[in-house]
């Protein structure tokens, strides 16, 4: 039996496992540990394809398994986190102003649900649609159409990390605004399935001339994280989009 052909799929399953754990923590409002397992899952997601290429064991099974794992780690988790954030913000406003119609809660067998928070789950639907399109699109080899699901997930999970670790009153006020959260959820849904071409971080060689945009992005990303910490994550995603728009060659 050729064991090496199972190695990339095992790594993909580790990504899926991390996503499942992240779901459990996200449901229980432990966004920090949810984010940790998402980061770990994305790490495995990066290396499964790399291992498959290095070991020369690419397969259709691996492609489909990778999308299923991404659907959990980079599709379900960010949708749940956005749903929970909008729910928590809506609950705070509801307690302050019980007459506000938009924040009326449904109570089903003791479970309170803010209907507006369901907008957050659109992120999961948009992620699933994007992953399905990606599987049948043969053009996306050296570039992506729309924002990749892992990048979108990093954008969303950065929000509770910013609140938890950076504790800026101004930034917290922005993030903990239901209309900001709803707008971000809709923006991410659009970006996931847009036709905007975004460069891929795949190196055919390591020369600066052919990969200038990638090296510049990586350098600015490191600088952004050092200076802005977790706030740097959404800045990096915006930088990624802007550089891609400015870049004529993908």
Residue 206 lies in a domain: no
- 5-15 residue pLDDT tens: 778 889 999 99
Tens digit of pLDDT for each residue in 117-155?
999 999 999 999 999 998 887 776 668 899 999 999 999
CB 127 within 8 A of CB 149: yes
CA distance 103 to 97: 9
- Domain assignment of residue 23, yes or no: yes
Residue 220 within any structural domain of the chain? no
For the full predicted model, state whether its pTM sits above 0.85. Answer: yes
Query: 145 in helix, strand or coil?
Result: strand
Helix ranges (DSSP H) in the chain: 7-27, 31-54, 60-71, 77-96, 122-136, 149-165, 169-175, 178-192, 208-228, 232-246
pLDDT of residue 50: 79
Instruction: Check pLDDT > 80 for residue 208.
Output: no
CA proximity to 232, closest of 242, 243, 221:
221
Helix (H, G, I), strand (E, B) or coil at 99: coil
- The 10s digit of each residue's pLDDT in 61-109 is 888 899 999 999 999 999 999 999 999 888 764 433 433 444 445 555 5
d(C-alpha 38, C-alpha 154), whole Å: 8
> Per the domain annotation, does 79 fall within a domain?
yes
Gap between the Cα atoms of 3 and 79, Å rounded? 36
Domain count, the chain: 1
* pLDDT at residue 3 tops 70: yes
- 116: which DSSP letter? G
Residue pair 156/123 in contact by the 8 Å Cβ criterion: yes
Token pair of 44, please?
Answer: 């495995």
Residue 221 lies in a domain: no
Spatial separation of the C-alpha atoms in residues 66 and 79, rounded to whole Å: 19
Residue 215 lies in a domain: no
Task: Provide the pLDDT for residue 229.
Answer: 95
**Is 167 contained in some domain?**
yes
Identify the residue whose tokens are 């055919």: 204
The helix or strand, by DSSP H or E, that contains position 111, with its residue range, turns out to be strand 111-113
How many CB atoms within 10 Å of residue 128?
18
Structural domain range at position 25: 3-139+149-184
Question: Nearest 5°: phi and psi at 197?
Answer: -85, 120
CA–CA dist 18, 14 (Å, integer): 6
d(CA 52, CA 7) in angstroms, rounded, equals 8
What's the pLDDT at 97? 42
In a domain, 234, yes or no: no
């Amino acid at each position: 039996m050729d064991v090496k052909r199972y190695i990339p799929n095992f790594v993909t399953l580790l990504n899926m496992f991390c996503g499942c754990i992240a779901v459990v923590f996200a449901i229980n409002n432990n966004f920090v540990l949810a984010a940790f397992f998402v980061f770990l899952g994305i790490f495995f997601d990066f290396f499964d394809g790399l291992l498959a290429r290095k070991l020369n064991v690419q397969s259709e099974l691996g492609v489909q398994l990778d999308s299923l794992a991404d659907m959990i780690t980079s599709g379900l988790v960010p949708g749940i986190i956005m749903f929970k954030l909008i729910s928590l913000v809506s609950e705070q406003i509801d307690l302050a102003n019980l007459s506000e119609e938009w924040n009326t809660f449904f109570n089903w067998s003791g479970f309170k649900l803010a209907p507006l928070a369901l907008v957050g789950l659109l992120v999961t639907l948009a992620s699933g649609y994007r992953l399905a399109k990606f599987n049948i699109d043969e053009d996306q080899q050296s570039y992506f159409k729309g924002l990749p699901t892992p990048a979108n997930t990093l954008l969303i999970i950065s929000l509770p990390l910013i609140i938890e670790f950076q504790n800026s009153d101004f930034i917290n006020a922005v993030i903990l605004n239901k209309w900001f959260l709803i707008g971000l959820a809709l923006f991410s849904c659009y970006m996931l399935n847009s036709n905007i071409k975004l460069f891929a971080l795949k190196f055919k060689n390591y020369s600066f001339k052919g990969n200038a945009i990638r090296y510049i992005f990586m350098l600015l990303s490191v600088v952004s994280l050092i200076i802005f910490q977790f706030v740097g994550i959404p800045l990096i995603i915006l930088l990624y989009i802007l550089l891609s728009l400015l870049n004529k060659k993908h």
